[in-house]
Amino acid sequence: MRDNCHACFRPVSLCLCAMIPSVANRTGVIVLQHPRERFHPFGSVRMLQAALQHARVERVPPSVGKNLRCPLTLPPHTGLLYPHPDARDLAGLEVDERPAHLLLLDGTWAHARRLYQENPWMQALPHFAISPKRKSRYLVRREPSDTCLSTLEATVEALQGLEPGLVGLDALLDVFERMNTDQVAQHASRDIVPRHRRAEIRPSRAIPNAVRDHVDDLVILHGETAELQLRAHRNLPEVFQWSAVRVGTGETFTAFVQPSLGRPTAAFLSRLGLADHLLDGFVTEAEAHRQFLHFLQPTDVLAAWTFATFKSAPRVAAPRSVSTDTAAVALKAAYCNARSGRAGGLDAILARESLTAEPVDVPGRAGELLGKLRAIALRLSVLARDESRISQERAPTPRG
């Protein structure tokens, strides 16, 4: 068993702790670290913390639910170093505009994005950015692009802009580069025989089985939300038109639910392509739920463009137990997985896939939208079956 350094967690033969310089930074550095970074052997934060005289590392505690919320008590005049469109470049700040402390997020770019999104208090901080003068020296971990830096490199770039002439930063970068080159050399010197796992042919999870094998049983649901001023709670959406189409038969469902605070305005109805007389049949949410359950068949599987539709009104739209072996389907996620990219708007998808969508028999723009979703669902079914066929053709022939 090899001996590891208890400070950097690297093999003693590769430990560089004795070479790390002491940097007397005036700008405080606070690092919020993703749980998965704490013991990473090539993480740069341990080296950064050992070098800077004014630095602290806060670690998000592991959570069973993968919750990354972590409120921090920050000193006054703390700014967030994060590539936001409104972030100000540190290099262009006047002396009296410079932050006294900098908060950085440590983790992969995906981790940093989640930390930012799940901690709204960060979004209230002043945002700052850097313009890297050199490409990353991070050789042992892959960065999304040459302009992306490790946490240590980003901190050094920021401090060089805030405290020109600060002694020790170049030496710290040299040690960081040495760590990378040593590791690359160590890996190259090993007599490693690569192991190759035998490829397994598995059904694709990119498109749900319900779309591939039972597309005719999909019931695509759409809800039009009421105007903001007509909702009882401004922060909670209220759906006043529920519509659905069964992909296989084209059968449709529509119900109008009375908004909490009155009738939709004529201008609003015009935007949705709805005639005022259609709303004479307003029903309660409970009645809409009853009618929708009556419309559904035991083999139906609910689908929508995104899962947000199901969250808008759980009583009406939540997936039922009629299809206990199949979860509800988010068509947007399925399309993104199938094409390995962003979906874009519905019209863009139809053009990309050379599809023609016929509106379904539902009042207003909901009929056009459901017609487009129906065409996309049918195309996804074809893509899934084609992929399944290709996988079967590539499967190895069993040996006798």
Q: Which of 189, 224, 244 is at the close of a domain?
A: 189
Q: Say if 72 falls within a structural domain.
A: yes
Nearest to 81 by CA among 141, 133, 157: 157
Query: CB within 8 A of 320, min separation 6: which ones?
Result: 293, 296, 302
Q: Say if 199 falls within a structural domain.
A: no
Residues 272, 390 within the same domain = yes
Residues 165, 109 within the same domain = yes
Q: Write out the residue range of the structural domain in which residue 57 sits.
A: 12-189
Residues 176, 281 within the same domain = no
Residues 182, 60 within the same domain = yes
Q: Say if 201 falls within a structural domain.
A: no
- Tokens for 287? 């009645």
Q: What is the total count of domains within the chain?
A: 2
Residues 156, 279 within the same domain = no
* pLDDT number for residue 210: 83
* pLDDT number for residue 60: 87
* pLDDT number for residue 104: 95
Q: Say if 203 falls within a structural domain.
A: no
Residues 246, 165 within the same domain = no
Q: Indicate which CATH number applies to the domain containing 360.
A: 3.30.420.10
* pLDDT number for residue 325: 41
Residues 18, 67 within the same domain = yes
Q: Say if 331 falls within a structural domain.
A: yes
Residues 222, 346 within the same domain = yes
Contact yes or no for 349/376 (Cβ under 8 A): yes
Contact yes or no for 374/357 (Cβ under 8 A): yes
**For each of the chain's 400 residues, which pLDDT tens digit applies?**
557 777 777 777 778 888 999 999 999 999 999 888 776 656 788 889 999 999 999 988 876 456 788 889 999 999 999 988 889 999 889 999 999 999 999 988 888 888 999 999 999 999 999 988 777 766 555 555 556 788 899 999 999 999 998 999 999 999 888 887 877 776 666 555 555 554 444 444 578 888 888 888 899 999 888 888 888 887 777 888 899 999 999 999 999 988 888 888 888 888 889 888 877 878 888 888 888 888 888 888 899 998 888 776 555 555 443 333 446 888 998 898 888 878 888 999 999 999 999 999 999 999 999 999 999 999 998 888 877 666 555 555 554 4
Residues 157, 300 within the same domain = no
Residues 229, 165 within the same domain = no
Q: Could you give the CA distance from residue 207 to residue 329 in angstroms, rounded to a whole number?
A: 9
* pLDDT number for residue 400: 45
* pLDDT number for residue 102: 96
